[in-house]
Amino acid sequence: MPAIDAVGEFETIQRLFKPLAHPEWARGLADDVAALPSRPGYDLILTKDALVEGVHFLPEDPLDTLAQKLLRVNLSDIAAKGAVPFGYLLACHWSERCGWPEREAFVAGLRRDQALFDIYLLGGDTVSTPGPLTFSVTMLGWVPAGRAVHRGGAKPGDVVFVTGTIGDGWLGLQACQGTLKLEQDRLDYLCRAYRQPLPQTEFADAILKSATASADVSDGLMADAGRIAEASGVCIELDLEVTPLSAAADSWFAGRVDEEAALEQLASGGDDYQIIFTVPASQEEAMRREADRRHVRLTRVGQVVEGNGLVVRYRGEDVTPAKTGWTHD
């Protein structure tokens, strides 16, 4: 079939998005709503994130990986609550550069991640805009009633863990922009980390089982630790020197003269989509076993104490970071 350069809303829905829709709940994308059955004993968890060209992604980012990132940043929020995702609502604001091939590429990325994470499209909207290319997703998931893990449950005596590695998203943006000087395989890895972050959905059940508070690391390790501290009415002491780094990030770090400043940059850059969470100290070894069983890297990065706010330390000394993370003006 020849490529179509100018397409309308309903043709896009019928030819591209309808095959992604849930076979029952999405009503064939022929209605203005999705109809979800009630599920006794469970709470419905919802989260929403948007990506705007020039703000959250680069104009040259491939649209298939952009679609994957759009789903994954939302899946990360769901996982941090200990929930299981099942579907999403999608809004596409297509710019003038998005003809049929670009829309097909975007949907190809959605299709890959729907299969990977076992989720379905439930509905949404698609429009054209003279402004920047913009997408948003509302992700839905289930969690046993009253069991969702929020930011506000950390208690003095808890320990603070983070999954995976920190700083790859921030470095990956620079790698994709061509401003980072590293070996090509390191640059390729970091670009993938920025464009296709891997949310810790496989760890959600462990979070549900043992975590007292949790958040996904989207705005920076320090910033998101501070939000848990604020919501919980406690103080979190964060130890910068144990920040977990990938081999690529470690390669960049090895060339830094000021190690403390470099770690502050990595821990404030954001776009990591790992999970920072707290557990009682008595559960530390059990949580480590859960991580080992799932092949998830787990690092203890701090502790919860009496007080308020965030205290950042480097090798036992309090430090005052220039910034703790990304903020939306």
Provide the annotated binding site for Mg(2+).
32, 47, 49, 77, 125, 216, 219
Binding-site residue ranges? 32, 47, 49, 56, 77, 124-125, 151, 216, 218-219, 271, 326
Q: Which residues of 76-110 are buried (b: 16+ CB within 10 A; e: fewer)?
A: bbbbbbbbbbbbbbbbbbbeeebebebbbbbbebb
Contact 248, 130 (CB under 8 A): no
Cβ atoms of 88 and 139 within 8 Å: the answer is yes
Beta strand residue intervals within 157-234, DSSP E: 158-163, 213-217
According to DSSP, the β-strands at 213-217 and 120-128 are unpaired
Per the CB < 8 A criterion, the answer to whether 281 and 159 are in contact is yes
Indicate the SS3 state at residue 44.
Answer: strand
Residue 141 makes CB contacts below 8 A (sequence gap 6+) with: 44, 45, 46, 78, 81, 83, 84, 85, 86
Contacts of 316 by beta carbon, 8 Å cutoff, 6+ apart: none
Structure tokens at 158: 């808890």
Task: Classify burial at 11, counting beta carbons within 10 Å of its beta carbon; exposed 0-12, middle 13-18, buried 19 or more.
Answer: middle
Cα gap 321→329, rounded to integer Å: 19
Known binding-site residues for substrate equal: 56, 271, 326
Q: Which residues contact 121 (CB under 8 A, 6 or more apart)?
A: 17, 20, 21, 22, 26, 29, 87, 88, 89, 90, 110, 114
Are 90 and 56 in contact, with CB atoms under 8 Å apart? no
Q: Which residues are annotated as a binding site for ATP?
A: 124-125, 151, 218
